[in-house]
Amino acid sequence: MEKRKSMEWEQKTLTSELTQGKELAKQLMNYLHPSASQEKRDFLISKILFSYEKALSLLKRDVGSDGESNHIPNTMLESPTSFGNGSPMSEISDQDCKNKNVFKKRKTMPRWTEEVKVCSGTGLDGSLDDGYSWRKYGQKDILGATYPRGYYRCTHRGTQGCLATKQVQKADADPSTMVVTYRGEHTCSQVLQLARSSALSLAKQASTGNQNATREAEKPKASQEMSFSFGAGLRVKTEDLDTREDDIFPSFSFPSTPIEPENVGDHIFCATLMENDLMDAYSPTFASPAATFEPDYLQATSSFGLGLDYVQTSESGLSEIISAPTSVTNSPIGDFGFSLDDLDFHHFENPESFAYES
């Protein structure tokens, strides 16, 4: 069942990727004249390469594997838009409980999991300040682990139904390193607040002429490694430590499920919308009709300006490692939720107006 879903999903993704590449190529043509922005061209080229690389990767997988989904990160398989009609993730969670045919095991319920290693020097302990308000609800001694694991949930769980949780545990090997595992996605208003501040930072970068920062972010590499330089000089590096070449990290992708207009503005949906918005932020003119989001892209983008390293793990499909001690903020997926109501990223073409309005 899930295998079939996975294959269908791959087909859709493949189609989307190829379609996107085509659309991007068309857009690129409009930027070929000398007066056009070089950055825009660079970005479009990067995105085209991403789309085709991912499409090729999917094809490779189809040819080289038995179709098992274990090559697909859980983050992708379990992403909110990976199923059905792109229902909000909170609804997915409800479905998880109701539709046991799809998720029979509780362990499969989380859409994705991230691990964040916070190196010493951040001055942070178990109560990592990642921009969200967390409430500790439990602690357990884990078998084989030297240090207990703390369980945190979003403070707004009760008021806003935010289902995000995280687990914090000291690393056995290095007690100064905190391993933070995020689960679920923030659907609370914090997402918007963080998104706004992050978007402001990006806009200021653009408006102050720091084009290198933006350009860096727009240069994903085919080697599945890319570095971002945003905000206050924080460096974000993502890399795929998994040696399987058919894994795709990071990448832009666009599942075929479009965003339902009626969901726009729904706070529950903001974490999904943010993908589109963020994409729009870096490509204001990009407007694929099938453009939604995919967690791997999200995970790459959600770290903008924060100084995170992403690595892929067998369990979650993606992990983050905060490698920059200067970063006091680590971001789970969803940090950069952009609501269409809150931000008009078309201002990104006019950073000044964007900054003012935001």
Partner DNA sequence: GTTATTTGACCGCC
Partner DNA sequence: GGCGGTCAAATAAC
Which residues lie near DNA (CB under 7 A)? 104-107, 127, 133-145, 149-151, 153, 155, 165, 167, 183
Q: Closer CB to DNA, residue 292 or residue 330?
A: 330
Residue 4 CB, shortest distance to DNA, in Å, is 20
Closest CA to 310 of 246, 242, 357, 264: 242
- Nearer to DNA (CB atom), residue 148 or residue 258: 148
Q: Output the six-digit token pair for 293.
A: 């989001």
The Cα-based distances of 311 to 25, 242, 339 in angstroms read: 30, 8, 27
Is 103 within 8 Å of 96 (Cβ atoms)? yes
89/213 with CB nearer DNA = 89
Q: If 0-12 CB within 10 Å is exposed, 13-18 middle and 19+ buried, where does residue 200 land?
A: middle
Q: How far is the CB of 3 from DNA (least distance, A)?
A: 17
Cβ-based nearer residue to DNA, 30 or 159: 159
Nearer to DNA, 164 or 199 (CB): 164
Q: Give min distance, CB of 70 to DNA, in A.
A: 15
CB of residue 11 vs DNA: minimum separation in angstroms? 28
Nearest to 185 by CA among 274, 259, 252: 274
Q: 348 with 280: CB under 8 angstroms?
A: yes
Least spacing, CB of residue 293 vs DNA, in Å: 24
CB distance 345 to 281 below 8 Å: yes
Query: Could you give the angle at which helices 2-30 and 38-64 cross, rounded to 10 degrees?
Result: 150
The answer for residues whose C-beta is within 8 angstroms of residue 97's C-beta and 6 or more apart is none
Q: Which is nearer to DNA, 137 or 356 (CB)?
A: 137
Q: At closest approach, how far in Å is the CB of 327 from DNA?
A: 21
